[in-house]
Structures are given as structure tokens and as C-alpha cells.
């Protein structure tokens, strides 16, 4: 098992729509194990395969919603889809693929998600609150959507300016080392 590199914005793979998982093979289980090792190494609640450069429709999440510590209890959702949603709630989000940035995003307060577990069995989960937010965030990743896409155009513009400024700073630091 391995800790894998998490792809960061603006890596184009993050905008790619993931393909459905069709075969539950050894490689799939290794990918899931590597994703668990990777999520263990960072402070996050969920991780999609596309975030580590494998555009297949699956994510793992920490059911305890702790995002830290050895008490993590991971679950896997393969080929997930939101089949119903209701309500609306605002809350702060961040993303492992967009480090150093958090903002308020409006999401559904309750979602019902269907998919498959690690063994290929059907899963039907109704989630609310933070778990509903995590499901929506990760399913967005599977569809090539980032949480910044859910911001107003004004906030998205501020984010892009911050990213350009950060890029200039990193380039200046790099130039100073050469």
C-alpha cells in the first residue's frame, strides 16, 4: 500500500468526468487501499480516485467525519449517484486538491445516494448535514466539478486572483533558488 500524490488545481485531470467502475478486480482493491493510506496521511474527510490521477467513479470517506487521527473508519462508494436531494444549507468547504482555500458553499441538506460498496454490493444511503455535504463534494469531483464552481462569480474571481498571486510568489521563490 502507498500514499499517493493528490492532484492540485489547476491540474486538468480534476476537470475530467470519471468513468464508471465495471470490474471489481484486484487492481480496484489496491487502488482503494492506496486511497485509504493517502487519506490517512492528510486532514480530509473524503477522497476520490480522480484526485490521485485515476478517473474512475469511486470515493472513500471517513464515516466518523473526524478528518484526523487513528480512529478513522473508511467507507467506499463506487459509481455513486445522487437520486434525490432536499433542503439547502450553507457551510464552509475546503478541498485537498485546492489547499490553502476555503469558502462558503450552498449544498442540499439531505441527499440520497445509490452506488456500490467495495465488494460490489448495492448501497442506498440517505445522508444529512456534514455527511450529505461530503457526498455532494466527492460526487462533484467524479463529475469534474470543483467546489469553487459552486461559488458566486465574484467569489470565484477572488479565488482566481489569489491563485494567480500564489503562482507568482511560487515562481519568484523558484527563480530565487536557481
Positions annotated as catalytic residues are 138
Cα angle vertex 96, ends 93, 97, to 5°?
Answer: 105
CB 95 within 8 A of CB 146: yes
What residues does 125 pair with on adjacent strands? Answer: 113
Q: Are 162 and 142 in contact (CB under 8 A)?
A: no
Q: Which of 25, 42, 61, 22 is nearest to 141 (CA)?
A: 61
85: left (phi over 0), alpha (psi -120 to 50) or beta: beta
Cα 56 to chain centroid, rounded: 13
What pairing do the DSSP bridges indicate for beta strands 110-116 and 74-86? Answer: antiparallel
Amino acid at each position: 500500500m502507498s500514499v499517493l500524490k493528490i492532484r492540485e488545481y489547476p491540474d486538468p485531470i480534476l476537470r475530467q468526468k470519471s468513468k464508471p467502475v465495471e470490474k471489481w478486480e484486484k487492481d480496484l482493491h489496491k487502488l482503494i487501499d492506496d486511497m485509504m493510506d493517502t487519506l490517512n496521511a492528510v486532514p480530509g474527510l473524503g477522497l476520490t480516485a480522480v484526485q490521485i490521477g485515476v478517473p474512475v467513479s469511486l470515493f472513500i470517506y471517513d464515516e466518523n467525519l473526524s478528518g484526523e487521527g487513528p480512529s478513522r473508519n473508511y467507507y467506499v462508494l463506487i459509481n455513486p449517484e445522487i437520486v434525490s436531494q432536499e433542503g439547502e444549507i450553507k457551510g464552509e468547504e475546503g478541498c485537498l486538491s485546492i489547499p490553502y482555500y476555503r469558502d462558503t458553499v450552498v449544498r442540499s441538506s439531505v441527499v440520497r445516494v445509490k452506488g456500490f460498496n467495495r465488494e460490489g454490493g448495492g448501497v442506498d444511503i440517505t445522508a444529512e448535514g456534514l455527511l450529505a455535504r461530503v457526498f455532494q463534494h466527492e460526487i462533484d469531483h467524479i463529475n469534474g466539478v470543483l467546489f469553487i464552481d459552486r461559488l458566486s462569480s465574484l467569489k470565484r474571481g477572488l479565488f482566481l486572483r489569489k491563485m494567480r498571486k500564489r503562482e507568482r510568489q511560487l515562481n519568484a521563490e523558484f527563480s530565487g533558488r536557481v
